[in-house]
Amino acid sequence: MSFLKPVVLGLMAITVDLVCQPAYAQDGFPPASEDVVLWSARSCYAEATWSFADCTALLHVIRKRAERTNWSFLKMLKQYSVSNWVQSDHGKRAVRLKLSHDARQSATWNENWRALVDHVVAVLNSGVSDPCPRADHWAATYYAPRSPMRRVRCTEKVANAFWVSVRG
C-alpha cells in the first residue's frame, strides 16, 4: 500500500499543475478573444500597416516578453506597443479601428483590414511560426538601441528592425 502514496501524490501534482496553468500556457498566445484580436490587429496596423511578416514577428515578440515578465499578453501589448501610438497620427487612427467594416475607408482598405484581422487570428491560434525567433524587441530601421542589442535575421522580409537583447 505504501507504493501507492507516491503515485497518488504525483498524479495530484500533475493535475494541479494542469488545472492552475493559464489557458494559453501550452501555446504561448491567449485565446483569440475579440479584445485580444482587436488590440493585436490595431498594433499590427500601427506598427507595420499591411506587412504580415512584421505583424507575425511583433506578436511573437509580445508573447515572449509577456512570458518572460509573467504579464498577460494584452497588458504587454498595450504597454510595449499601444503606449507609443499617441506620438503619430497613424497611431491615433489605429486606436479608433474596430473589427467591423469601416464605411469611411475604401473597399481595398477594408479588404486589407479584414485580411490583417484574419492573419492576427491565425497567429494567435499558433498557426503562423515566428519569422524572427530570436527577437525580443522591434523598432524602426533607424532606431539606435539604448541597451546592448544585436539585430537579428528574420526568415521573411520585414520592414521593421528586430533585435535580441545581449545579456552580460
pLDDT digits (tens, 9 = 90+) for 77-122: 999 888 878 778 888 899 999 999 999 999 999 999 999 999 999 9
User: Is residue 98 in some structural domain?
Assistant: yes
- The CA-CA-CA angle for residues 115, 121, 127, to 5°, reads 105
The model's pTM? 0.81
Give the type of residue at 94. A
pLDDT at 149: 93
User: Is residue 72 in some structural domain?
Assistant: yes
Tell me which residue has cell 490587429: 41
What's the chain's average pLDDT?
85
User: Is residue 86 in some structural domain?
Assistant: yes
User: Is residue 137 in some structural domain?
Assistant: no
User: Is residue 34 in some structural domain?
Assistant: yes
pLDDT at 153: 95
Instruction: State the DSSP code for 148.
Output: S
Give the type of residue at 25. A
At 4, the pLDDT band (50, 70, 90 cuts) reads very low
CA 64 – CA 28 distance, rounded (Å): 8
User: Is residue 145 in some structural domain?
Assistant: no
pLDDT at 158: 96
Grid cell listed for 121 = 487570428
Q: How many structural domains compose the chain?
A: 1
User: Is residue 142 in some structural domain?
Assistant: no
Mean predicted confidence (pLDDT) in 5-21: 38
pLDDT at 168: 55
- Residue bearing the bigger pLDDT, 81 or 130: 130
Domain of residue 80 covers 26-130
User: Is residue 36 in some structural domain?
Assistant: yes
